[in-house]
Structure 1
Amino acid sequence: MRKKLFVVLAAGLLAGVMLAGCSKNKEEEVVPVPSEEELPQQTPEASEPTPEGFPTVSEREVVDGKVQSYLTGEWKDVKAADRRPIAVMIPNNSPAMPQYGISRASIIYEAPVEGRITRLMAVFEDFDDLDRIGPVRSSRDYFVYVAMGYEAIYCNWGLARPYVEELINRDTVQNISAAVEGIYNPAHEAFDRVSRPGYATEFTGYLFIDGLLEAAERLEYEWDYDDAYVPPFTFAGDETKAQDNYKDAEDATMIYPGGHEGNKGGYGAYNPYFEYHSEDNLYYRFQNGEEQIDEMDGSQLTVSNVVFQYCHGEVRDDHDYLAFGVHGEGDAIVFTGGKAIKGTWERYDGDATPAKFYDENGEEIIFNQGKTWICNIWEEYGEFVEYE
């Protein structure tokens, strides 16, 4: 039976962090988001509650030159797993498809933008053997705040200046940005255009990895994680599956962030969905009724976990720019191993910490090792979410 979920955002969001520079009415004064320094800090040890007795990835140790990734829990070369990731803004509308290199991302964060479509922010730790990633598109402030939680170097081509210019040029944001108005330290060497006959110009700009590394060196960015870094997820141990800890949870093999009906919540334009395959424990991504693929190798995008993170959203101005509350708390569903684990998300400890996900008992949700796709669900359109 198809289940339709009606979600109400939990009460008690922090007044100052409810929205990243958003107000309910155009006439109202914009509410600033507290800076990282203004919020209490959390230590990694305080953010790792797990169900008692269930094996999870905990202490990291190097074995034969590999260590388990903070972002996927998988064994990866130390060089990649111990290095801060990059977060790349990528368009997700039909005229831009297909994207190049996106299947290599460890985390994909999807959120609505103006025009009631979604945009992606792909977070990469494995990128040394890629030549380019893209196409690359412009920034919105809620994406920047999410990237900061992963300690990622943020990569974009363009920005919504009224809401992003001050933020992206802060000392606390390390960015590799194309040279456009509103970017004070552009990275000319990191971006170029690729011939794509039939595509609009805005879908021809790419991030080139050699140039990215040159720009990071010139801008004197550090690649090491901060000592206070908080990993975003807790992963099941090597010999276990997360679903074994959630045997009583609902089964969910088809997941529709925007349901089946057209709606204005961002996911109604192209009707994306995920299909779970038990044989490989992966969720396959579809959009516009077709497989969503990586142009680099023709592979379909797959992930081990899908998250619905419900956030309060508002329309900011006549340009239809949106704002979402990515600090504070809200409802969430984590889909892993064919199960739907209902719970909440919380992010109260500053810009440099990520959202954490908890089940209905207040325990941190255990993810399967592998890639994760996070759908920012506009809470006011949460009624359209479906899974079965």
Structure 2
Amino acid sequence: MKKRPMVFAALALLLVLLSSCGKQADETLPVTEISSETEAVKETTEEENETAEEEMEETLPEGLCRSYLTGKVVSEAIGRRRPIAVMLSNVRAAVPQSGIGKADVIYEAPTEGNTVRLMGIFEDWDSLDKIGSMRSARTYYVLLQHEFNPIFVHYGQCNYALDYIDTDNCDNLNGVLGIGETVFYRTDDRPKPHNAYASAAGITAGAEKMGYSWQYAEDYTGHYQFVKDGEVPELTGASAANFVKPGYSSNTPLFTYDSESGEYYRSQYGEPQIDDTTGEQLSCRNILFQYCEYEHYYDTEYLYIYVMGEGAGKYITDGKAIDVTWKKDGDWGITRYYDTNGNEIKLNQGKTWVCIIQTEKAENVEIYE
């Protein structure tokens, strides 16, 4: 009988020990939970800081901004004013063009008769007394000009383009309408239709007469992405591109890379392509090839080039070329260009030349060292 208290004491001691262990186990759980919460907060904070750094806007001196067209620092009076998009003839009888050296972006695309026509996008054009020679618009050019929110300057159009021009998406100055006498003039040094020109003063007066605003649309944020100062584009898988031929048979253009300046100098018709006003050869920092499907309007020679949708292409800069994919959402979307990893490409700061090339003629493209 005297042994029972010892048994009870042993049992009591065991219960105390078990209770103590359970209590310690319970007390350790919150430590783990706190550690996880702290780590999660730490990770979230780091992500937020990275996002904040990426979204931090560049601070520039008062009165300056980044150009939507070149990515360079320019006066706000120029860079935050809508540009002009000008249709330019490029047949042999119309060259050299005047004022074209001031264009920040140039589009080149086929037209009927196996010719090509140009469209220049200008932001600094106030000093130009002679821009041209001017030619008529085509449907796909109307869709492309809209991507820059410009005032569109053209001397007529094919009938099929009218439905696109006569919309809120195209503030335009048309040489064959009443506004033409305000904006355009003809010279006597070339035969029609290669002698129609516009001046900065005429364009300004025409825009005022039409009631157009020079302010960008509130939702416009630009077309291209550009690298920051001192940076270069990522060109993974690039091939050499010192000489570049888009393959147009009518004007046989050639871009030749100059490593010292980083520019591609343009030739066509077997000679340097110059601005008639300055005598200087045209050049650009970036070249984009955009391969597009096309068809003819009914039984005519007029082309309908599918610049909307998506397709393949090339981005060429710094003596190198990479494959890209282009995408344009609907008629009035903005064309974006992506590398083989699906990332939107960033261009070098400077001028850009875009060649619209029929997909079936992509085999005529030549890019070599």
> Which amino acid counterpart does residue 218 of structure 1 have in structure 2?
K
1:380 paired residue number? 360
Structure number with greater CO (CA < 8 Å, separation at least 6) is: 1
Of 349, 358, 361, which residue of structure 2 is paired with 1:369?
349
1:108 paired residue number? 106
User: Is 2:207 the partner of 1:216?
Assistant: yes
Deviations 1:106-165 (A, max 9, x none): 10000000010100000000101111210000110100100011111111112111x112
2:193 paired residue number? 202
Of 182, 194, 200, which residue of structure 2 is paired with 1:189?
182
Of 174, 177, 181, which residue of structure 1 is paired with 2:174?
177
1:367 match: secondary structure: coil
Structure with greater helix percent: 2
Alpha-carbon shift at residue 228 of structure 1 (Å)? 1.6
Alpha-carbon shift at residue 241 of structure 1 (Å)? 2.4
Identify unmatched segments of 5+ residues in structure 1: 1-51, 259-266
2:161 match: secondary structure: helix
Q: Is the 8 A contact 1:56 1:236 kept in 2?
A: no
CA distance in structure 1 between the partners assigned to 2:335 and 2:277 by the alignment: 31
Alpha-carbon shift at residue 84 of structure 1 (Å)? 1.0
1:43 paired residue number? none
Identity of aligned residues (%): 39
Specify whether residues 56 and 285 from structure 1 end up closer, same or farther in structure 2 by C-alpha distance, changes over 3 A only.
farther
Specify whether residues 325 and 58 from structure 1 end up closer, same or farther in structure 2 by C-alpha distance, changes over 3 A only.
farther
CA distance in structure 1 between the partners assigned to 2:151 and 2:244 by the alignment: 30
User: Is 2:65 the partner of 1:85?
Assistant: no
Q: Is the 8 A contact 1:230 1:354 kept in 2?
A: no
Alpha-carbon shift at residue 283 of structure 1 (Å)? 0.4
Deviations 1:240-293 (A, max 9, x none): 222xx22641121110110xxxxxxxx111210101111000000010111000
CA distance in structure 2 between the partners assigned to 1:221 and 1:141 by the alignment: 22
> Which amino acid counterpart does residue 227 of structure 1 have in structure 2?
E
2:222 paired residue number? 231
Alpha-carbon shift at residue 56 of structure 1 (Å)? 10
> Which amino acid counterpart does residue 356 of structure 1 have in structure 2?
R
CA distance in structure 1 between the partners assigned to 2:301 and 2:249 by the alignment: 16
Identify unmatched segments of 5+ residues in structure 2: 1-49
CA distance in structure 2 between the partners assigned to 1:212 and 1:335 by the alignment: 33
1:124 paired residue number? 122
CA distance in structure 2 between the partners assigned to 1:225 and 1:313 by the alignment: 31
Of 306, 326, 331, which residue of structure 2 is paired with 1:325?
306
1:252 paired residue number? 241
Specify whether residues 350 and 116 from structure 1 end up closer, same or farther in structure 2 by C-alpha distance, changes over 3 A only.
closer
Q: Is the 8 A contact 1:294 1:301 kept in 2?
A: yes
> Which amino acid counterpart does residue 255 of structure 2 have in structure 1?
F
- RMSD (Å), alpha carbons: 2.0
User: Is 2:355 the partner of 1:355?
Assistant: no
1:215 match: secondary structure: helix
CA distance in structure 2 between the partners assigned to 1:157 and 1:104 by the alignment: 20
CA distance in structure 2 between the partners assigned to 1:108 and 1:204 by the alignment: 20
Alpha-carbon shift at residue 378 of structure 1 (Å)? 0.6
Deviations 1:305-364 (A, max 9, x none): 00001111112244411110111111111101111121101111651x320110000011
Q: Is the 8 A contact 1:276 1:338 kept in 2?
A: yes
Alpha-carbon shift at residue 101 of structure 1 (Å)? 0.4
Tell which structure's C-alpha radius of gyration is larger. 2
2:325 paired residue number? 344
User: Is 2:267 the partner of 1:293?
Assistant: no
Alpha-carbon shift at residue 230 of structure 1 (Å)? 3.7
**What's the TM-score once normalised by structure 2's chain length?**
0.82
Q: Is the 8 A contact 1:81 1:125 kept in 2?
A: yes
Specify whether residues 187 and 171 from structure 1 end up closer, same or farther in structure 2 by C-alpha distance, changes over 3 A only.
farther
- Equivalent pairs counted in the alignment come to 318
CA distance in structure 2 between the partners assigned to 1:379 and 1:359 by the alignment: 19
Of 136, 150, 153, which residue of structure 2 is paired with 1:152?
150
Deviations 1:30-75 (A, max 9, x none): xxxxxxxxxxxxxxxxxxxxxx99x999835442532110110011
Q: Is the 8 A contact 1:292 1:300 kept in 2?
A: yes
